A = this chain, B = another copy of it.
Amino acid sequence: MGERDEVKLLGTWYSPVVLRAKIALHLKSVDYDYVEEDLFGSKSELLLKSNPVYQKVPVLIHNGKPVCESLNIVEYIDETWKSSGPSILPSHPHDRALARFWSAFVDDKWFPAFIAATITKSEDTKAKGMEEVEEGLLRLEDVFVAISKGKPFFGGEAIGLIDICLGSFLVLLKAKEKLNGEKFLDESKTPFLCKWADIFLSDEMVKNVVPEIDKVAKFIREFEDRAQSVASRS
C-alpha cells in the first residue's frame, strides 16, 4: 500500500475484540492512529457514523472507509496488507474454511457460554454455561492438536485467525480466574491449549498490545459493582 495510507482504529482498551484488530495490524506492521471510545459515556460522532448498524467497536477506518466487526476487520487487514508479514489466513481453501468455522464457533457458541457461566445470576444457567465452556475448550484442544501439527499456533508456525480470535479472550479468562477463583484453562484437561496460551501471550506480536490482567480484573470488578448497585436501586 502507498505511504499516504491513513489508518484509524476506534476501540476501547479493555475490549477483546478490539485487541484482535490491534494484533492483526501489528502482525502486518501497519502504522495506525488509535482512538479510545467511551462506551459508557457518549460515543463519538465518528463511531456512530462509521458503524450505524451496531454502534460498536472495533471499527477500522482506512483512507476514510470504515470496516466493522472484528473478524471481518482481521480478514480485511490480511487481504489489504497481503505481502507484509505472514498470512493470517491459511492459503488452502479448506484450511481457510476451517479457520473461519472455528473462529465463528468461538464467537457464536463458546463465548456466549462463557458469558452465561460468569455473568448470569441464575445458578442453573451458570452451571450449564460452565459445562459448555469446558466442552468447548476440550473441542478446541482437539482442533489445536489436529491442525497445528506439532507447531506452536493454530496457524502453524505463525499466529493465524483462530489464534487471534480465541487468544483475544485469554486476558479476560485470566482476569476472571483471578477474581472468582474459577479455573478455565486446566493443565490436566487441556494441556496443549494451556501451553498455546502461554506462548501466544508472550509472543512479541501480542505482548505489547494486550492489556494487563490486573487492570482488566479491576475494571471488571468495578463494572460488576456498578451493575449490582444499579440493580439494587431499581
Interface residue ranges, A against B (CB under 8 Å): 53, 62, 65, 67-69, 72-73, 75-76, 79-80, 93-94, 96-97, 100-101, 104-105, 109, 139
Contact = CB atoms under 8 A, between A and B. Distances in A.
A220 to B, nearest CB: 26
Nearest to A51: B101
Nearest to A104: B69
Nearest to A63: B94
B53 A76 contact: no
Chain A to chain B: the 6 pairs with minimum beta-carbon distance, closest first: A79-B93, A76-B97, A80-B93, A67-B97, A72-B100, A76-B93
- Copies of this chain in the oligomer: 2
A139 B52 CA distance: 10
Contacts of A94: 62, 65, 67, 76, 80
Contacts of A68: 101
A97 B75 contact: yes
A139 B75 contact: no
A101 B67 CA distance: 8
A177 B68 CA distance: 33
Contact of A75 (B67, B76, B100): B100
A72 B109 contact: no
Given A69-B100, A69-B101, A80-B93, 20 more contacts: A53-B105, A53-B109, A53-B139, A62-B94, A65-B94, A67-B97, A67-B101, A69-B104, A72-B97, A72-B100, A72-B104, A73-B97, A75-B96, A75-B97, A75-B100, A76-B93, A76-B96, A79-B93, A79-B96, A80-B94
A52 B76 CA distance: 30
Contacts of A96: 75-76, 79
Nearest to A81: B93
A116 to B, nearest CB: 18
11 contacts: A67-B94, A67-B101, A69-B100, A69-B101, A69-B104, A72-B101, A73-B97, A75-B100, A76-B93, A76-B97, A80-B94
A68 B69 CA distance: 21
